[in-house]
Chains A and B, each alone.
Chain A
């Protein structure tokens, strides 16, 4: 077996050094009736060629996003990943290291996480960010639980325009962790502030919202703060912050975001990277790993994991969260991509996305039967179709166009959203892609 360096001779020598005559002797503590006599019923070892062939065969059965006109977003966005990103994250020193518990030999990981925390704080307009969480949806649930700790209250009001997976994850955590979640209808009017009462710990909204609408939450933040409620702003398309006013400037207390758009592939939904930012005064209630700056015994600047008295490995059942890992390598990809972009690149990339989406919206508005729902949007918007969107999407998929996300996929029983289609455009979308979507829609709707 190519990954196992011990030879038969080594094994015999080692057993002798240990003083036992067979490997089985080392498994003596296993109750006899639980010992398997031989290998379980699964295929035997394979070489690289065979494994690659079999896995590639499965991969070949999928329609690759990059091979077709592609307009799917809904919280995961197809962006260009610069070649340097994937090259650098595959350096073994990053890829095959553990959580940086030994700072003297982990300064590489610690420094990039410090850079990551800074980038996230800058982008979101917040004061401080952690070293990442699993994904945007779990970051959102962690934000609600943090708000509960900060306020001593147990009820979260969720906007109906919050990504449905984020809402569902909050609901799951709420049931088991023991807090209340009040959700608005996705098709109804907003005004989550009207649901705020004395038990409310936070209001959770999204920007751009699940339907792509860019919103101003400044007034909502004021109302929340007047009643001691925290405002949690979710961002599922982090690139939007290259063009849109950041949550920090609108008065957010916590930002929970998905960072996949920078540096990370679609990956069929994971792994991605959860971003989490807040205000300095709340930092000790934050979940997840934090990297802090310090000095070594020689007075040189360096970095360490810090404020770990919040964490499970120190506080055990009194920890702020049970989280142990972060999404280190995905955070690295994010950091490298954003370092390559810089201020000029990020704002241009955001402009490109917005320009493409504006152009696409203008085209689709001209198609008879299609109605643009949004007033303002970034790179994704919702259109109302004359027929159930899921049906149209299937028809277009048959023509080799992946047209977007039918909202009914999330709300199969809500007739009010059955005709809604989310359409995303990015810097990867070409004029030809848009031609094919427009032509396809005209055809199936005529």
Chain B
């Protein structure tokens, strides 16, 4: 340990270990230029036939001048992106305990099935008579999701969780408008994901934050005091972002309904209760499901996602287009605001939704089955509680008692060490782990939110626990240099985000003119 920190102190900025090689490379970590800097003009990674001579019909609007795209051969392109991939952390390479993000294993069967020509090579505007299998697959997915949520309807088109939130709040507003009820406030707990207030505001509502109680749950008294005839909805995440189940959720739902408002649930954390609890039984009117969380469609470095929304009967008539309904001749695709979709709020996205994600999610659910999905929730909760129990004396637990799929710590254990939550997280990177979610939720100081997911083995958790314990001990012993410098063993060390925002460089430009975006 001491040797290590002495070695580090020699590495002042500009003299880091990375410059000890001629190339800047360090073994398997290879410096890789931008594709634009690897241009061999005229080169192409594809052999395309030359078009037969023809007279163009572009009406005199053909492109003049060059675009500026670089030319590379296939081996150059493959090597470039392979090298880039090696600069990424991923679930495939290790535990990814990013709280609230549900980084679980992505089964490869799902990738294979999503690429079947009968599902990937079909066009959304083919005559409906030529895609009965696609409608059937979507209908089957809908059936699974309806059964698991206990809700009678599901809107499938939203492209992501935040898009699902938009869909849900729009459905609520449409339902209120249909009964001539103008309401202006949406209650959002302080612990909510940022998308919740952003969504409510985007739909024209005033966001009214509701506080948490001492147990990390919604303060029911405070919430009920805020309810009134101008409240359109409560947006509540359950299990919440502290990883806790809202014990009084049924009473909360009843209070919300008594006030004539709707109960929107952010289903980002459905993976904790899938197969064990149906949201409909909790009094929820509307809930989006992140297929890329609970049902393991890959996160892909930030998308594409898919955010279907389960709807109660009173909201179902307003679901966005398209609808798939069972008609006299089998499944039909309803693409317009005609019966039975005459009250639909309209279209939220081009075409029919994230089919590629539907296939993956369905394959995931079929693989687990109703029994396996229940086990998913149980193992996710078990793994999180195991971390809670084993780390309770090393980190500082924010709230006592069992957690659900994720466990929340705060930075009290770092008090007077000179080490921050950020430093601690960056030190984990050096140990080969992606950090937990930091500084979220906002209701505790210096949050560290850990979600192991059910796809981690006990051995994997034990190794992680040992590392976290060792780092916590190092912090307490005052080994601050190690933390402040971390990460050291990565393709890049800490990056200057302030300059990036102050003088944005958002694209490559040919040398020497590296112009900067306007302030």
Contact = CB atoms under 8 A, between A and B. Distances in A.
Interface string B61-84: 111101111111010011011101
Interface stretch (A82-90, A183-191, A219-227): A82-90
B397 interface: no
Contact of A409 (B125, B359, B506): B125
A52 B133 CA distance: 14
Interface in B476-519: 487, 490-497, 499-501, 504-508, 517-518
A268 B346 CA distance: 19
A161 interface: no
Nearest to A112: B84
Contact of B303 (A103, A132, A291, A356): A132
Q: 10 tightest A-B contacts by CB?
A: A376-B59, A269-B351, A59-B118, A92-B92, A329-B300, A61-B133, A269-B124, A340-B45, A271-B304, A45-B369
Interface in A262-293: 265-273, 280-281, 283, 289-293
B68 A122 contact: yes
B89 A97 contact: yes
A123 B67 contact: yes
Interface string A93-108: 1111111101111111
B212 interface: no
A35 B338 CA distance: 39
A1 B368 contact: yes
A110 to B, nearest CB: 9
B57 A118 contact: no
A338 B495 contact: no
B304 A61 contact: no
Contact of A3 (B66, B71, B368): B368
A103 B492 contact: yes
A117 B144 CA distance: 38
B369 A409 contact: no
A58 B117 CA distance: 11
A241 B63 contact: yes
B371 interface: yes
28 contacts: A4-B376, A23-B382, A36-B276, A40-B275, A43-B369, A48-B109, A59-B117, A61-B118, A62-B134, A65-B121, A76-B125, A95-B111, A96-B103, A96-B106, A96-B299, A100-B88, A105-B88, A135-B159, A177-B203, A244-B58, A244-B61, A294-B505, A298-B18, A322-B162, A328-B299, A328-B303, A340-B72, A348-B50
A298 B247 CA distance: 49
Interface stretch (A194-202, A308-316, A432-440): A308-316
B147 A42 contact: yes
A18 to B, nearest CB: 4
A111 interface: yes
B180 to A, nearest CB: 16
A45 B165 CA distance: 30
Given A55-B116, A312-B198, A168 B347 contact: yes
A299 B354 CA distance: 41
Contacts of B500: 292-294, 304, 306
A210 interface: no
A345 B44 contact: yes
B349 A138 contact: yes
Interface string A116-131: 0111011100011101
Given A165-B347, A172-B345, 13 more contacts: A35-B276, A54-B366, A66-B117, A104-B492, A265-B121, A266-B124, A270-B159, A307-B501, A312-B162, A312-B197, A332-B301, A376-B58, A394-B129
B202 interface: yes
B118 A56 contact: yes
B218 interface: no
A327 B163 contact: no
Residue from A42, A168, A342 having most chain B Cβ neighbours under 10 A? A342
A20 B499 CA distance: 50
Contacts of A211: none
Contacts of A65: 121-123, 126
A55 B359 contact: yes
Contacts of B363: 51, 55
A1 B390 CA distance: 26
B402 to A, nearest CB: 5
B429 interface: yes
B45 to A, nearest CB: 3
Residue from A7, A25, A135, A344 having most chain B Cβ neighbours under 10 A? A344
B35 interface: yes
